[in-house]
Amino acid sequence: MKHFKASITVSLRKSILDVQGKTVEHALHSTNFPMIKNTRIGKHVELEIDAENAEKAHALLSDACKTIIANPIMEDYHIELHEMEA
Amino acid sequence: MRFGIVVFPGSNCDHDAWYATTHNADSEAIMLWHKDTSIPKGTDCIILPGGFSYGDYLRCGAIARVSPIMAAVTQHAKRGGYVLGICNGFQILTESGLLPGALLRNTSLNFICKDVYLRTENSVSPFTNSLEQGQILRVPIAHGEGNYFADEDTLNMLEQQGRVAFKYCDVNGNTYLESNPNGSARNIAGILNEQGNVLGMMPHPERCCDIQIGNADGLAVFQSLISAAELLI
């Protein structure tokens, strides 16, 4: 069994207008950062998981994202895994 | 007619729902705790009340939908029992998959607390049978995430099947963009499931059931349910 640390990013689906992202981008544009584009606001979840290998850990977390961590109707998720030393 | 009102940690409209059903609609109501695993026999309608269940952690309704009582609520709905989700209750119903779509942040990013006008789009459901098609109600909203979202196919299906119960409108019943308080797709304020026994709505009918506080437009929802339950007996 291996031990992984996961970093999950949840953000609104690309097809959904992210009003919070837009508002932050307006604020950035009015504070000397007009070069910034496509601002999206999301959530960051960190957790640890035991699994046989990275593939299984990813599959389990993908299931967890679809079930609770994200709402697939409105959100996308991205999982990054880092294997920890035993 | 017996209502069962679910109390989640963070529910804050549970007592309003109890007052509206018992005092204004002259029915029986019992309170159900979120840790209960069954619904007492003889309960006709489950109300998932407004509030901030579990502090709206993760997403509104995301934690409530996995609380112990929700399995029993889902069974109740599958058996044809009535379920009324108001505000946070609507969010819990979409999170649990009992209703399609999701509730996004209001486009203004503000928490909006005010009276709005609703146009009755379906006057034959168990929740709206005492209303006329097109009848306009004045009902308060109080939410930060009430912006109804679903893909185009789902929205078309809801409209074609008569599953949009209420739309946001102006005082004359026009569903203009300006009469849409939160950015909801097609001005949708409340929807029904396919069988018509589950209604989710963002506005609060339980907060306007007593003429002593100046508005009893919401009472029609509870009176409709009572009529529907009587027909079943």
Residue A86 above 80 pLDDT? Answer: no
Which structure tokens are listed for B81? 């029992």
Range of the domain at A56: 2-83
Average pLDDT over every residue of A65-79: 97
List of chain A residues whose C-beta atoms are within 8 Å of the C-beta of residue B104: 12, 16, 74
Are A9 and A44 contacting, i.e. CB atoms less than 8 angstroms apart?
Answer: yes
Q: Taking a contact as any Cβ pair under 8 Å apart, which residues of chain A between 21 and 60 contact chain B? A: 23, 43
Are B197 and B81 contacting, i.e. CB atoms less than 8 angstroms apart?
Answer: yes
List the beta strands (DSSP E) in B98-226: 102-104, 112-120, 136-143, 147-149, 164-169, 188-192, 198-201
Position A78: which residue type?
Answer: H
Distance in angstroms (rounded) separating the CA atoms of residues B171 and B23: 28
Within an 8 Å CB–CB cutoff, is residue A71 touching chain B?
yes
Which structure tokens are listed for B225? 């349910």
Residue ranges in chain B modelled with pLDDT below 70: 233
List of chain B residues whose C-beta atoms are within 8 Å of the C-beta of residue A71: 59, 62, 95, 102
pLDDT over 90 percentage in chain A: 98
CATH of the domain at A60: 3.30.1280.10
How many contacts does A have with B, using Cβ atoms within 8 A? 29
Q: How many helices (H) and strands (E) in chain B?
A: 5, 11
* Tally of domains within chain A: 1
Which structure tokens are listed for B210? 């007593």
Q: How many CA atoms lie within 13 A of A27 on its CB side?
A: 7
Residue in B104, B108, B109 closest to A16 by CB? B104
Distance in angstroms (rounded) separating the CA atoms of residues B222 and A28: 48
Ordered domains of chain B (ranges, CATH): 2-232 (3.40.50.880)
Model confidence pLDDT, tens digit, residues A25-55: 999 999 999 999 999 999 999 999 999 999 9
Q: How far is A73 from chain B (nearest CA, A)?
A: 7
pLDDT of residue B231: 83
Cβ neighbour number for residue B17 with a 10 Å cutoff = 29
